[in-house]
A and B are shown apart, each in its own frame.
Chain A
């Protein structure tokens, strides 16, 4: 019987033998291999890798699920069927045996009744015919007739033939009707061989039935497990593999979703998980792209900052030595702070022919564009001072205006540049204690004790395209310098400080700046300028600066004042 042929115990679970495998249906790994997955790691069951799913999928024999179900369920069913069939056969056999016994007893009783009469044994014609009639029964085996003394009167058949358990024996006394002594005894044996045959047939049928049942069971189980369990599970496994390789394929349901079907529920949960993983993965990729973009920006920014840092070194090297006027009897302090490392503010200090030249310029724009303009201004100023030998501030401004406009091609048609600069120039003549000032857009501020004056030059700056007929003109102011007087050339970045949270949110303005400067008149100029810088920062309160700032402060060195003529 097949149950004995493959008992579950014969193949211990951990190391499944090949016997079952080979006989069974297609193996789990076959379909994976057919799907293009080959696993090298499966040979080492202990080795868990990131792709552990592969190993687990491999180690788990999906087809063995059908085997397991078969091996667990079938023996029970087979035993139940067998026991039931045998039980039915046994009951049948017993009933038949009972009927046979009754039949034998009835036949014996009828015959005995027919024979019974006084002195029956003396006349054989009375009983012989009767007893012989018993042989007509196909089951008849033997009959023995004895008289009252127990001697055999007649014996038919062979009482010894056949096995005793296949023989049913009945006895009937020959009685005279009253309660008198028995006149004799008839012993009848009939064969029960048919019964045994029937029982055997039934047993064979039971076995055959279980065999057929097994076959039908195996086929049905496999077909159903394959269709309803293995196929969806394999789809799920394949989908898991895809997901392992970051291909976000959902698992397909072969029918409409049924909430009562566990595999459908699992598949749906899996799909939700895939969705979650996909969005997570997408978010990760986006983050990665963002990080890359951020990195690029950072690189670009560093490049730009390095470049601008280099530009600042160049612009700083174009600026003069702050001590350039030390020999001319002037105390000078400078605050030069571009908004973005480099800027459009420029200053120049030079001692030439016994004169001190102080220039502050505020070119349009700040940052790199502003810095370009300062280089044009620096070059032009150098030529005006050294090649053309100009010492007159108004003349210098006038010439600078022309040179800048020529350099930026603002004097011709189709000019694209709308740039220019504010500029203030002071020429210090120590021998006369005089300062000659000319400004275009830049004022000269003087503080003498409590008196603050601002000498505004021309309203218009230098450069810029001119309107037809427009002519640059600037006045010159000559100042007599007295001890205690301090002079300042500053760009509007100094006064245009936006206060953060003050009501009205207004600019510090010229008065605000001169108030600060006036309160530190006794301090050395360098300290005065440093205090101004700190005070400006305090006024802004975190509000960003709006512009480049430059301030050149100067005054005659104390005790160095030549006698006024």
Chain B
């Protein structure tokens, strides 16, 4: 048994961790800011658990995951991958899933990271959004 499903997880941004808004009820998830927490597993662990629990309980609601990170370290990249995998699996099972990868105009580093992630998705829709 996973943890009880939360309707919504909201965390304010710190200088080392992003602003989190996982609104499971509406299927809208978002990460914004920068992500290089000292212990990425401790930060992303609860998010991943809640996401998995939500995916296990519901099957139909579409999910849009917005990721707009100006910087993330390699542990965070790993944690993002861990978040993307169950979403891709859910998309494979028929749920509409969109990952919207937002990056600043001309920020090749983040754009490339998005492209790398996009390559791992076969079923979920992966959108690259360049922001001015």
A→B interface (CB under 8 Å): 362, 364-365, 418, 422, 441, 459, 461, 464, 492, 495-496, 498, 504-511, 546-547
Contact = CB atoms under 8 A, between A and B. Distances in A.
Which secondary structure characterizes the binding site on chain A? loop
Return the 10 tightest CB-CB contacts between A and B, nearest first: A504-B104, A506-B107, A509-B109, A506-B104, A507-B109, A509-B108, A505-B70, A498-B71, A511-B108, A546-B36
Contacts of B70: 498, 504-507
Contact of B106 (A364, A461, A506): A506
A134 to B, nearest CB: 128
Contacts of A509: 107-109
A495 to B, nearest CB: 6
Given A498-B34, A509-B107, A546 B75 contact: no
A418 B106 contact: no
A507 B103 CA distance: 10
Contacts of B104: 504-506
11 contacts: A364-B75, A422-B74, A496-B71, A505-B104, A507-B70, A508-B109, A509-B107, A509-B108, A510-B112, A511-B108, A546-B71
Nearest to B39: A365
A364 B106 CA distance: 27
B34 A365 contact: no
Contacts of B36: 546-547
Nearest to B78: A418
Contacts of A464: 78
A546 B109 contact: no
B73 interface: yes
B95 to A, nearest CB: 22
A504 B71 contact: no
A510 B112 CA distance: 10
B105 interface: yes
B6 interface: no
B55 interface: no
Nearest to B103: A506
A150 B56 CA distance: 161
Contacts of A365: 75
Contacts of B57: none
Contacts of A418: 41, 78
Given A418-B41, A498-B34, A510 B71 contact: no
A504 B105 contact: yes
A464 B41 CA distance: 13
Interface in B47-94: 70-71, 73-75, 78
A507 B74 contact: no
Contacts of A508: 109
Given A496-B109, A504-B132, A507-B109, 5 more contacts: A461-B74, A507-B70, A507-B71, A507-B110, A546-B71
A364 B112 CA distance: 20
A550 to B, nearest CB: 14
A498 B106 CA distance: 14
Given A418-B41, A459-B116, A505-B104, A362 B74 contact: yes
B40 to A, nearest CB: 9
Given A504-B104, A505-B104, A547 B73 contact: yes
Contact of A506 (B41, B78, B110, B119): B110
Contacts of A441: 74
A512 to B, nearest CB: 8
A510 B132 CA distance: 20
Contacts of B110: 506-507
A464 B105 CA distance: 32
Contacts of A507: 70-71, 107, 109-110
A547 B70 CA distance: 14
Contacts of B74: 362, 364, 422, 441, 461, 492
Nearest to A454: B112
A505 B104 CA distance: 8
Contacts of A505: 70, 104
Contacts of B71: 496, 498, 507, 546
Contacts of B41: 418
A325 B132 CA distance: 46
Nearest to B132: A504
A496 B69 CA distance: 13
B116 to A, nearest CB: 6
B14 to A, nearest CB: 14
Contacts of B132: 504
Nearest to B119: A459
A510 B78 contact: no
Interface in B20-53: 34, 36, 41
Given A418-B41, A422-B74, A546-B73, A510 B105 contact: no
